[in-house]
Amino acid sequence: MILNYSQPLEITNLTGWLDSALRSSMSEFWVLLIEFVLVGALLLTAYAVIALILIYAERKITAFFQARYGPNRVGKWGLLQSVADMIKILLKEIVKINRSDRFLFFAAPFFMIAASMMTFGAIPFGKGLHAVDFNIGVLYVTAVSSLGIIGVLLAGWSSNNKYSMIGAMRSGAQFVSYELSAGFALMTIVVLAGTMQFSTMIEGQRFCWNIFNGHISSVIAFVIYLISGHAETNRGPFDLPEAESELTAGYHTEYSGLQFGFYYLAEYLNMFIIASIATTVFLGGFLPIQVQGWDAFNGIMSFIPTYVWFFGKTAVLIFLSLWVRWSFPRLRIDQLLNLEWKYLLPINLINIVLMVILVLTGLTLKDIFGIM
């Protein structure tokens, strides 16, 4: 229904054409194989490209926060800086550490990158840009993204470095705690939306985003999700695992070259993943802003391609995250855990009950105003 209007910029046109072209010339098996490989390659490329863009954006935005210029030498406005950095990191020597657990040491970065890669695949970027659409999408994302902590703990353990170890232990405590809050915040919305599948969830938000639909309860869940998501990505003010003023670089102190690059990439991608899940679950995903009954307005809005909406919403949330990161000092480990266990978790539990009551008593905005 939503895409009834003419949308020349939408990516579905291209993918549809490609699919039919392939199908006309070969058997079902080969079509699927080629498409799988294509999707996989595209996701990997997107992963790297998004990370590069994020790194550039963060450096530039931070620079403006801090009254600096940021990168401005490589390319126009320093646009090629992160490309240059990437090439540098690819060429760097991978240093082997004496008396470290060699196997675990090399395996650790892969856990990290695989976890964020697997989450990345389940994100709906736009209409027709959704690689895996599980019926338990929310659960899958929560489960898979928490695999990353294994990489962190292994790195800390296998480096044979006390700084890394402390960083990894902090990270473990932090991840386990905030995973809980993030999960509960998402569950609150699952209660509201009645589904765990991302595509259905997005479709349900066409005229009323979840953050408005559940009003009080949704807003609380949204704020908690942003906080705990921020904490999960190990970014300031929750960057204790790699608190550079205390632990030099925390769990990845001993890593160099591409292995460090994996951690670096995963950190940025996790920021993106958290923002995009928040977009999908709370802010209507890739859907344009639509108002029930305003058909002309809706037509114009949906003329803008869905992936632009998705990246636009995500960018706003990422900016928010950068803003927080570069404004606040770092929390201490006990303060961090206090915040989670004494405040966020109890609020969260009450919030779920509140949401259940809202849904059961028909007090959501959709019920009150009869929005579809």
Partner 1 sequence: MENIKKLILNTVASAVIEEKQKLTVTVAWDKLHLLAKTLRDNAALPFDVLVYLIGMDRGEELGVNYLLSSSTDLSKELVLKTGTTDRENPLLYSVTDLFETAHFNEREVYALLGIRFINNPDMRKFFLNADWNGFPLRKDYDANPELNPLSLESVDMIDIAPRVMEVDGKLVEETVNIFGDDDYIINIGPQHPSTHGVMHFRTALDGEIVKKIDVHSGYIHRGIEKLSEALTYPQILHFTDRLDYLSANINRHGLCLCVEKASEIEVPERAQYIRTIMDELNRMDSHLLAWACQTNDLGATTAFIYGMREREIILDIFDKTCGGRLIINQNVIGGVMFDIYPDFQKDVKSFIIYMREKLKEYDRFFSHNVIALGRMIGIGNLSKEDAISYAVTGPAGRASGWSNDLRKHTPYALYDKVDFKEVIRTEGDSYARYMNRLDEIEESLHIIEQLIDNIPEGDICAKVKPIIRIPEGEYYQGIEAAKGIFGVFIESRGDKFPYRLKFRSPSMALVSVMPLICKNEKVSDFIGIGGSMDYVIPDIDR
Token pair 């927080």 is found at 324
Q: Does 330 bind partner 1 (CB under 8 A)?
A: yes
State which residue, 68 or 96, has the beta carbon closest to partner 1: 68
Q: Does 226 bind partner 1 (CB under 8 A)?
A: no
Which of 58, 232, 239, 267 touches partner 1 by CB under 8 A? 239
State which residue, 332 or 342, has the beta carbon closest to partner 1: 332
Q: What's the rounded Cα separation, in Å, for the pair 77 and 352?
A: 47
Q: Does 131 bind partner 1 (CB under 8 A)?
A: no
CB atoms within 10 A of CB 9: 12
- Binding-residue total with partner 1 (CB under 8 A): 28
Which of 52, 224, 227, 243 touches partner 1 by CB under 8 A? 243
Q: Are 192 and 214 in contact (CB under 8 A)?
A: yes
Stretch that binds partner 1, among 112-120, 125-133, 308-316, 322-330 (CB under 8 A): 322-330
State which residue, 23 or 332, has the beta carbon closest to partner 1: 332
DSSP 62-126: HHHHTT---S-SSSGGGTTHHHHHHHHHHHS--PPPTTS-HHHHHHHHHHHHHHHHHHHHT---S
The angle at the Cα of 202, spanning 198 to 205, to the nearest 5 degrees, equals 145
Q: Does 144 bind partner 1 (CB under 8 A)?
A: no
State which residue, 328 or 369, has the beta carbon closest to partner 1: 328
Q: Does 162 bind partner 1 (CB under 8 A)?
A: yes
Stretch that binds partner 1, among 32-40, 103-111, 161-169, 364-372 (CB under 8 A): 161-169
Q: Are 178 and 228 in contact (CB under 8 A)?
A: yes
Stretch that binds partner 1, among 135-143, 163-171, 224-232, 357-365 (CB under 8 A): 163-171
Please provide residue 107's backbone torsions phi and psi, each rounded to the nearest 5 degrees: -75, -30
Picking from 153, 112, 146, the residue whose alpha carbon sits closest to that of residue 251 is 153
Q: Does 327 bind partner 1 (CB under 8 A)?
A: yes
Alpha-carbon distance values, 191 to 143, 164, 279, 302 (Å) = 18, 40, 17, 28
Which of 70, 151, 204, 236 touches partner 1 by CB under 8 A? 236
Q: Does 343 bind partner 1 (CB under 8 A)?
A: no
Q: Does 261 bind partner 1 (CB under 8 A)?
A: no
- Please compute Rg for the chain using Cα positions: 22
Q: Are 38 and 44 in contact (CB under 8 A)?
A: no
List residues near partner 1 by CB under 8 A. 62, 65-68, 162-163, 166, 170, 236-237, 239-240, 243-246, 248, 326-335
